[in-house]
Structure 1
Amino acid sequence: MADRINEGLSRFIAQLKYEDIPVEVTTHLKNILLDSYGCGLFGSTTPWMKIYKDVLLKMSDRQEASVWGTNVKTSVTSAMMLNGSAINSFELDDTHTDGIIHVSTGVLGCITAFAETLGTVSGKDFLTAAVLAFEVACRVAAPIGMELAHQGFNNTGTCCPFGSAAGVGKMLGLSKDQMIHAMGITGNWSSGLQAVQFASMAKRIVPSKSSEGAIIGCLLAKEGFTGIEDVFENKFGGFYNCFTDDIYNVERTAGELGERWELLGIGLKFYSTCRSKHSTIDTLRRFKQEHPEINPDDVKKIRVGTTSITHKYSVNADAITSVVAAQLSHPYVCAVTMLEGNAFVDQFNEEKIRDQRILEYAKKVEVYPDEEIENLPRNLRYTVKVQIELNDGRVFNLRTEYPKGHPLNPFTEEELLWKFDSLAGKVFDCADRRKKIVDAVMHLEDLDNVKVLTNLLRKEA
């Protein structure tokens, strides 16, 4: 009889050694980690994160883990929630294409805070735990990304607790059997609603909160507490039964462990918007570059064909009431790209989302579900068709499949460092400090203690 999913994953988690991990995997993950720490540092400066921090800091006087970008320490769970949320706080964080999860916001805040709290984790051991956290989260999500999203569940908050449990459990040295129970406890915290996407500040904090269960689950399992052993396949309220009506793929989730690496499907974001908008932004920027003679006001209409889930994720031009709504709005994103040439952090603030020229331009944009794109393989789900109609009657038909930052259209080293510097520079104006963070991440395996990195991510008192 084949292993249950939980048993296969838990054995892999307990047995994996740093030496077993291909260089390709650690290299890709380090790029993701650097990008995500930059996102988290920038996120710590946002107004919604200040509110969240002020509330959570009043709930604990423990001094276990750092709040990035500040001189504050707090409890491991509060630090986990704050730092994970900061990564997600401005739509800049990574995305796994098939799973539709922002992996770092779900797992990195958790495992970094836990490693700092333990205080004895080497860089090599942390990197091993991080590989497991990202890999397991991606494997749980990969077969069901579309199904979860269409059902209305928050993919990241639902799937990433298992990844966090993998990383925390590895740092605790859990055995295979203990890990099975840790996963079976953690699964009870899987949560999150897609409706949070469209306007509220709550969108920023859902994914990291659910990974609180990973810390609790692993600590309980270490003491002999038991969980749902068949947490994934149980036909009455198991993970896949509950969230997808039994849609799952045992091989995709638990097959070829250590041979096929799902985390290589994680891409980075070049723009400050929902990932599903990035192919459109790339298309419009390319159009502007190829046709400098065409002014934005020469455009009569823009039609964007997408998947049905991307269509659902788009806020209409007349419903842009907040920064998060603008970042989820295809019409707004098209408008700022055409008018300002980009959709990065400077295009999303309270002043811009009330700019009548941008809002009026957004009304030129129509987004529709395209049947051909809907039927493409999942790895092509970011494909868009963009039709640009000019006032003089000319029509341009464009298509983009892989947005900038996708694994098949990756950042250059210069682009990765530019993004990190741009974001981290909002907290640390000292270039030498930013370089030390880069060096620590890119040479994690050489650190005697991961606290070298966490100390660099916090401000001095």
Structure 2
Amino acid sequence: MADLAINEATDASHGCSMTESELALDENVGTTNALCEWAIGLKFSDIPRPVLERVKHLILDGIACGLVGGHVPWSEQCADAIFDYEPPGYCNVIGYNEKLGPLAAAILNGAFIQATELDDYHSTAPLHSASVVLPALLAAAQCLSTGNGRGDQAKQKVVSGLDFLLAAVVGFETGPRAGLALGGAELLTRGWHSGAIFGCPAAALASARLLGLAPADAESAVGIACTQAGGLMAATYEGMVKRVQHAFAARAGLFGALLARNGYVGIRKVLERRYGGFLSMFSQGNGAVPPYDVRRVVDGLGERWEIFGIRVKLHACVGGCHGQVEALAQLQQAHPDRFEKEKLRHITSIRVGLSSPIFAHDGWEPFQRPLETTGAQMDAAYIGASQLVDGQVLLEQFADRNLNRDEVWDLVMKTSCYHDRHFDQPHFACGARVTIDFDDGFKVETILDQPRGYNPPITDEDIRRKYRTLTPSAVDDELRLQRIEDLILDLENVDDVSELIGLLALPTKNVL
């Protein structure tokens, strides 16, 4: 598969030798088609067992986040608005009795998975894969099981767990590859919400695979999804819309697949087109030479799995600050007498060195007190102060009642962040250098290149433990939680995913 779109050293239309830079921008290389052919043709036997196991656990982690995130205050406000303005439909919503049409259901389910900053992230191509892929697939599955569509499409089709799992593999693999072709975190540095952009082709191809589209129709779906891509990272500072921007990508991808299913033709070659193409347009202004590399989309496809770059969060904040949190935890462990809560007032300054994209994304100075929950979970100074005061960065630290504590804000105001080029090295982007000065002249510093879960990754057992720790706060029924876990972890042997979808829709409660 790696040969499909990257090994042509000759321009097919001109017969002339091409430079590496020209190859990276070649719109005749057929990348979008090659990706779609792979996605639609993927077989169970093509996927190594470790990949399948990892994807099932990523699904479990995303579902845990959705169950916990469905009734936090900002999710309830989103749900109230959508239930007010969208008509009832046939698709379930996580944690609610009401049903919606597929596009509206995808919005809510995506917003719930991303609601608490506990969902996955990719370490080199930043996106939250579960909040993009799973909402699209849950809705697409119910389109099939309820027989919505025209002609032969109107026949009800049972969606097996294996069908769902293969489509999830497609989505989880596609998003990071689109992101890597755009330079990974570079898009984030320039202020785009990268995952809301990378996620569009991921949701489109996952949905197209589950809906049984032909490769040409899948390419239409990707084209329709990519022309809707967007997302502004100014959503970091305040408000609630940051929680729903990955859901916009889920909806865009699902919408593209549903239109293509009915014969609507989208943009061909959307990834590689030089004029108005996905990679061409979202790379403009980045200063790189070449500005994008279309070959990264399919390089090693089916042989090297970007799925293993998807990280699982252990802290309820932006993934880029996990290195900072863990660096502070190391200092607290190494110097327990210095970091006793009542002695934190003796700290005179905290300096935090971050990679370029994380400094741009999270190193900003707080401009108001208190921050709103979104801003607090995205601000390195507030996140670090919470770790110092509470010894943890979990949902409790961002509840409304905790956002204006004097002991936290004293440390926030003593914190300054800066760009440290050390962390611009590959795979160091979420690391941090932390330097702390005390009023008696004592100084401590530590460098943490990679937070937990990089090398080695968080284990599948850790993910199961996270699910079992998180979800009881939202669901009282232990048997329900166990059944959800059992179904997900045995997806390839599940005859019909309707039971799983129904279990997710039973009411949940507010964890805050």
TM-score bucket (shorter structure)? over 0.9
Q: Residues 265 and 413 of structure 1: is their aligned pair in 2 closer, same or farther, counting only changes over 3 Å?
A: closer
Shift of 1:222: 2.7
State the partner residue of 1:168. Answer: 207
Match of 1:382 among 430, 444, 455: 430
How far does the alpha carbon of each residue in 1:217-276 deviate from its partner, in whole angstroms, 9 at most, with x for none? 222223332222121122221111111027222332112221111111000111111111
Q: Residues 99 and 412 of structure 1: is their aligned pair in 2 closer, same or farther, counting only changes over 3 Å?
A: closer
State the partner residue of 2:95. Answer: 69
Shift of 1:31: 1.7
State the partner residue of 1:454. Answer: 501
Matched, 1:128 2:185: no
Shift of 1:427: 2.3
CA distance in 1 between partners of 2:125 and 2:507 (Å): 38
> Greater Rg, structure 1 or structure 2?
2
Match of 1:98 among 115, 121, 124: 124
CA distance in 2 between partners of 1:117 and 1:424 (Å): 28
Q: Which runs of 4+ in 1 moved over 6 A?
A: none
State the partner residue of 2:49. Answer: 23
Name whichever of 413-422 and 338-347 sits farther off: 413-422
State the partner residue of 1:5. Answer: 31
How far does the alpha carbon of each residue in 1:119-166 deviate from its partner, in whole angstroms, 9 at most, with x for none? 221001100000001111111012322221123221111111101111
Shift of 1:83: 0.6
**Is the 2:222–2:266 contact (alpha carbons within 8 Å) kept by the matching residues of 1?**
yes
State the partner residue of 2:18. Answer: none
State the partner residue of 1:329. Answer: 379
The residue correspondences of 1:312-323 to structure 2 (distance < 5 A) are 312-314=360-362, 315-319=364-368, 320-323=370-373
Q: Which sections of structure 1, spanning at least 5 residues, go unmatched?
A: none
State the partner residue of 2:179. Answer: 141
Matched, 1:255 2:299: yes
State the partner residue of 1:217. Answer: 256
Match of 1:43 among 62, 65, 69: 69
**Is the 1:7–1:176 contact (alpha carbons within 8 Å) kept by the matching residues of 2?**
yes
CA distance in 2 between partners of 1:413 and 1:131 (Å): 16
Matched, 1:226 2:231: no
Superposed CA RMSD in Å reads 1.8
CA distance in 2 between partners of 1:307 and 1:206 (Å): 24
State the partner residue of 1:365. Answer: 415
How far does the alpha carbon of each residue in 1:187-244 deviate from its partner, in whole angstroms, 9 at most, with x for none? 1111111111111111111111233222222222233322221211222211111110
Shift of 1:25: 0.7
State the partner residue of 2:149. Answer: none
**Is the 1:300–1:391 contact (alpha carbons within 8 Å) kept by the matching residues of 2?**
yes
The residue correspondences of 1:41-440 to structure 2 (distance < 5 A) are 41-119=67-145, 120-143=158-181, 144-245=183-284, 247-294=291-338, 295=340, 296-314=344-362, 315-319=364-368, 320-374=370-424, 376-377=425-426, 379-406=427-454, 408-413=455-460, 415-440=462-487
CA distance in 2 between partners of 1:107 and 1:54 (Å): 23
Name whichever of 392-401 and 163-172 sits farther off: 392-401
**Is the 2:328–2:387 contact (alpha carbons within 8 Å) kept by the matching residues of 1?**
yes
Q: Residues 409 and 200 of structure 1: is their aligned pair in 2 closer, same or farther, counting only changes over 3 Å?
A: farther
Shift of 1:414: 5.2
Shift of 1:61: 3.3
**Is the 1:107–1:161 contact (alpha carbons within 8 Å) kept by the matching residues of 2?**
no
**Is the 1:94–1:104 contact (alpha carbons within 8 Å) kept by the matching residues of 2?**
yes
Q: Residues 413 and 215 of structure 1: is their aligned pair in 2 closer, same or farther, counting only changes over 3 Å?
A: closer
TM-score (norm 2): 0.86
Shift of 1:76: 1.2
Name whichever of 147-156 and 163-172 sits farther off: 147-156
CA distance in 2 between partners of 1:73 and 1:108 (Å): 17
CA distance in 2 between partners of 1:181 and 1:67 (Å): 27
| 2:85 alignment partner, SS class | coil
CA distance in 2 between partners of 1:329 and 1:215 (Å): 32
CA distance in 2 between partners of 1:450 and 1:33 (Å): 13
Shift of 1:330: 0.9
**Is the 1:161–1:210 contact (alpha carbons within 8 Å) kept by the matching residues of 2?**
yes
Shift of 1:409: 4.0
Shift of 1:170: 0.7
CA distance in 2 between partners of 1:385 and 1:28 (Å): 31
Shift of 1:63: 3.1
CA distance in 1 between partners of 2:507 and 2:337 (Å): 51
CA distance in 2 between partners of 1:335 and 1:310 (Å): 17
CA distance in 2 between partners of 1:215 and 1:423 (Å): 29
| 1:195 alignment partner, SS class | helix
**Is the 1:234–1:241 contact (alpha carbons within 8 Å) kept by the matching residues of 2?**
yes
CA distance in 2 between partners of 1:214 and 1:271 (Å): 29
CA distance in 2 between partners of 1:229 and 1:104 (Å): 26
**Is the 1:186–1:214 contact (alpha carbons within 8 Å) kept by the matching residues of 2?**
yes
**Is the 1:79–1:113 contact (alpha carbons within 8 Å) kept by the matching residues of 2?**
yes
**Is the 1:189–1:211 contact (alpha carbons within 8 Å) kept by the matching residues of 2?**
no
Name whichever of 237-246 and 216-225 sits farther off: 216-225
**Is the 1:107–1:208 contact (alpha carbons within 8 Å) kept by the matching residues of 2?**
no
User: Partner letter of residue 45 of structure 2?
Assistant: E
Name whichever of 229-238 and 295-304 sits farther off: 295-304
Shift of 1:421: 2.7
Shift of 1:92: 0.9
**Is the 1:306–1:368 contact (alpha carbons within 8 Å) kept by the matching residues of 2?**
yes
CA distance in 2 between partners of 1:201 and 1:398 (Å): 34
CA distance in 2 between partners of 1:380 and 1:137 (Å): 20
| 1:32 alignment partner, SS class | helix
**Is the 1:18–1:125 contact (alpha carbons within 8 Å) kept by the matching residues of 2?**
no
User: Partner letter of residue 302 of structure 1?
Assistant: I
